[in-house]
């Protein structure tokens, strides 16, 4: 008979103590902090994600119900990573934690029927992505007679007239940006216009009228844009104390990651919840990495957190596990030049590498590109994986010359600043089919579908929508003779085929089988439209097939559509697609690189007026923020940091060549903390 052995816990070691194994002293104190208000200042590479996940695990080990823990993250990627790590600590309980971006969590809450109806919505409301919202703003502008009619003025890449002249056409993207910033910063439109949008000066009443029309159109369509998810969440708590108190009882512990990147509306949401409930709020972040002011992020949310919460405990994570001592010393010397911020000095936990950051000046942009390519090739030949190398830049256009050279040399690369999979036109077309089935009052989705049909333009689409949308069931009305009569005679045959196609997609039971609905779209007349409308149709059809594979993971259409429309979050940080090759060089703006790390990092085009950005420098607090962007860039490097800049530069490859100045961010650093490179070219012998 086999001998049975039962393993027992080590003496004197409780479950919650096991949750803290592997943390350093300060990390343990932060993870096991008492209830109340806590601030964790986490420098780059200091194990922030590890501390957050261990704190959640510790709370669960203390008996806190996982479903009562609300963890907001800056990106969906961060939420997925934290839940995955948490699973290794607490098992299936990790999936019960409310972890996600503010917009994800808002979407989940507002989908509750009682909450949606309290706000005047149905729970199957649609979510408008950025382009759909822009189209609806443009429609509002045109309806008020304040814009240039025609779809070309509302689409990306279209020509939009400026709005500087009094009484001239208003630019939809400018109006949309002003409305969004006003909402997220909780600031009145007049002040926003005065400070950030001088081109709208003197036209506040018109902008406010557009805002009202835009809001009415969204309400009629039972739709919310990204901003509405947060605005309506806050409105629900302000106008319905019973709903606020219910949420406060439900979420007994709140944790906010990347506090420095939250905006005023987001911090008011979490602080309102905390104040109405148990008051357990943990903020995590690094003021030196606050780089999203242009999107409404409020630097003071973190900097003045102790003032707003007297007596809060502060934990400083200053041991850097990512970078070598040489890189850490360089980054410390850079950020100390900022006027504001919590004092901090990072200490590397790694042994000295004797490899200082390298600064290389080149004669021009072409030589800068040649140098970067050559150093990358040499690193790969020496055994470094291409996927462990990144080239970062302040402005996307600075990478164009480099991209050409990489192609010529056969170096595989991926760019983290283009359209994401779910933003591509053909994917949005398929989503529009699903959206009208999920929410038949979604005017934006209907308009997109109708405008795909040959012979139907904006005016005809509007007539059809005026016929079907006011009815009890727009999907049923679409098949009536009245709707057919609204279509132009030359387009009625194609319109009838579209109605039949939509009926077939509807018959696929998309509410419970979204993958079947995607395949039904592929079998419909849309396939021919795609082939006529877009380049590379075969690749696009394969993309839609992959969308069907993704949809097979879902058993509810509403959840699929919401997840896809929130896939990029409001800041567009989740740029790595599931099928992106691992062994490719990464080219990225610094903003897109935040939170990531590579063994070897290049920071290119370090010249005045480019990095720092010339416009940002003249704004109050702009120089400090530009330096924080530089700090984020250089702290991505684990082993090697190379900084490059050209002495001469021409604009657009033509015109006069100008002499550049090295970035002040490089010049202000102690010269003993980095090495300078002398770049020369081989000279062919006579």
Binding-site residues for ATP, in ranges, read: 42-49
Helices (H), 285-399: 300-303, 305-308, 325-335, 365-381
ω before 612 within 30° of 0 (cis)? Answer: yes
Contact between 636 and 393 under an 8 Å Cβ cutoff? The reply is: no
Scan for tokens 């010529």, then name that residue: 408
What distance in Å separates the CA atoms of residue 223 and residue 221, rounded to the nearest whole number? Answer: 5
Distances (CA, A) of 19 to 23, 29, 47, 90, 345: 9, 12, 15, 9, 28
CB 359 within 8 A of CB 557: no
Classify burial at 396, counting beta carbons within 10 Å of its beta carbon; exposed 0-12, middle 13-18, buried 19 or more.
middle
* 403 DSSP 8-state letter: H
Short-list 627, 621, 617, CA closest to 590: 627
Annotated binding residues: 42-49
Q: List the 313-317 sheet strands across, edge first.
A: 98-100, 69-72, 253-256, 281-285, 37-42, 313-317
The kind and range of the H/E element at 81 are helix 76-90
| Distances, alpha carbon 222 to alpha carbons 127, 243, 443, 449, 552, in Å | 9, 21, 9, 18, 26
d(CA 394, CA 604): 8
Q: Which two tokens stand for residue 481?
A: 């003779």
Cβ proximity of 204 and 219 under 8 Å = no
Q: Which residues contact 397 (CB under 8 A, 6 or more apart)?
A: none
CB 627 within 8 A of CB 299: no
Query: Quick one: which of 43, 73, 55, 71 has its CA closest to 316?
Result: 43
426 in Cβ contact with 502 (< 8 Å): no
Region for 131 from its dihedrals, namely left if φ exceeds 0, alpha if ψ lies in -120 to 50, beta otherwise? alpha
Are 583 and 387 in contact by the 8 Å Cβ rule? The answer is: yes
Paired sense of beta strands 69-72 and 253-256, if any? parallel
């Amino acid at each position: 008979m086999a001998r049975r052995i039962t393993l027992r816990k080590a003496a004197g070691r409780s479950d919650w103590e096991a949750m803290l194994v592997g943390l350093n002293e300060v990390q343990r104190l932060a993870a096991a902090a008492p209830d109340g208000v806590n601030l964790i200042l986490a420098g780059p590479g200091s194990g922030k994600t590890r501390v957050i996940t261990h704190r959640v695990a510790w709370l669960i080990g203390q008996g806190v119900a996982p479903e009562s823990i609300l963890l907001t993250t800056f990106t969906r990627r961060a939420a997925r990573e934290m839940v995955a790590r948490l699973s290794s600590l607490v098992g299936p309980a990790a999936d019960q934690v409310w972890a996600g971006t503010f917009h994800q969590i808002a979407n989940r809450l507002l989908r509750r029927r009682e909450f949606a109806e309290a706000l005047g919505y149905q729970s199957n409301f649609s979510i408008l992505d950025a382009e759909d919202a822009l189209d609806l703003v443009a429609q509002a502008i045109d309806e008020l007679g304040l814009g240039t009619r025609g779809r070309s003025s509302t689409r990306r890449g279209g020509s939009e007239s400026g709005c500087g002249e009094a009484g001239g056409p208003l630019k939809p993207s400018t109006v949309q940006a002003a409305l969004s910033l006003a909402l997220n910063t909780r600031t009145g439109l007049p002040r926003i216009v005065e400070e950030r949008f001088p081109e709208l000066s003197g036209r506040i009443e018109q902008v406010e009228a557009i805002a009202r029309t835009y809001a009415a159109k969204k309400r009629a369509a039972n739709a919310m844009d990204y901003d509405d998810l947060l605005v309506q969440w806050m409105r629900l708590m302000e106008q319905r104390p019973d709903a606020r108190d219910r949420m406060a009882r439900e979420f007994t512990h709140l944790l906010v990651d990347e506090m420095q990147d939250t905006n005023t509306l987001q911090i008011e949401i979490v602080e309102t919840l905390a104040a109405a409930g148990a008051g357990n709020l943990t903020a995590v972040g690094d003021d030196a990495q606050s780089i999203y002011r242009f999107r409404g992020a409020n630097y003071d949310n973190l900097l003045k957190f102790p003032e707003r919460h007297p007596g809060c405990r502060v934990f400083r994570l200053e041991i850097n596990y990512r970078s070598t001592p040489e890189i850490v010393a360089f980054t410390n010397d850079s950020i100390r030049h900022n006027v504001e911020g919590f004092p901090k000095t990072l200490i590397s936990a790694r042994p000295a590498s004797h490899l200082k950051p390298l600064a290389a000046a080149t004669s021009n942009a072409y030589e800068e590109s040649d140098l970067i390519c050559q150093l990358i090739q040499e690193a790969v030949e020496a055994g470094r994986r291409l996927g462990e190398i990144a080239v970062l830049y302040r402005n996307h256009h600075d990478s164009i010359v480099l991209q050409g050279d990489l192609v010529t040399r056969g170096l595989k690369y991926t760019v983290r600043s283009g359209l994401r999979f779910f933003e591509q036109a053909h994917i949005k077309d398929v989503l529009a089919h699903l959206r009208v089935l999920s929410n038949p009052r979604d005017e934006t989705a209907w308009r997109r579908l109708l405008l795909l049909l040959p012979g139907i333009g904006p005016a005809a689409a509007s007539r059809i929508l005026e016929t079907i949308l006011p009815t009890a069931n727009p999907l049923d009305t679409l098949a009536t003779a009245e709707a057919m009569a609204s279509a132009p005679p030359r387009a009625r045959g194609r319109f009838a085929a579209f109605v039949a196609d939509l009926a077939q997609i509807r018959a696929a039971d998309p509410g419970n089988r979204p993958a079947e609905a995607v395949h039904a779209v592929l079998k419909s007349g849309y396939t021919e439209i795609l082939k006529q409308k877009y380049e590379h149709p075969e690749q696009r059809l394969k993309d839609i097939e992959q969308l069907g594979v993704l949809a097979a993971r879902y058993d509810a259409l509403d959840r699929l559509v919401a997840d896809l429309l929130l896939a990029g979050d409001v800041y567009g940080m989740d740029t790595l697609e599931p099928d992106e090759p691992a062994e490719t060089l990464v080219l990225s703006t610094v903003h897109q690189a935040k939170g990531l790390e590579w063994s070897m990092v290049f920071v290119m085009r370090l010249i005045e007026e480019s990095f720092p950005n010339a416009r940002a420098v003249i704004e109050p607090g702009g120089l400090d923020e530009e330096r924080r962007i530089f700090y984020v860039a250089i702290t991505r490097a684990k082993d090697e940091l190379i900084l490059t800049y050209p002495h001469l530069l021409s604009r657009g490859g033509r015109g006069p060549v100008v002499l550049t100045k090295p970035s002040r961010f490089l010049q202000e650093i102690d010269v003993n903390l980095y090495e300078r490179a002398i770049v020369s070219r081989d000279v062919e012998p006579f």
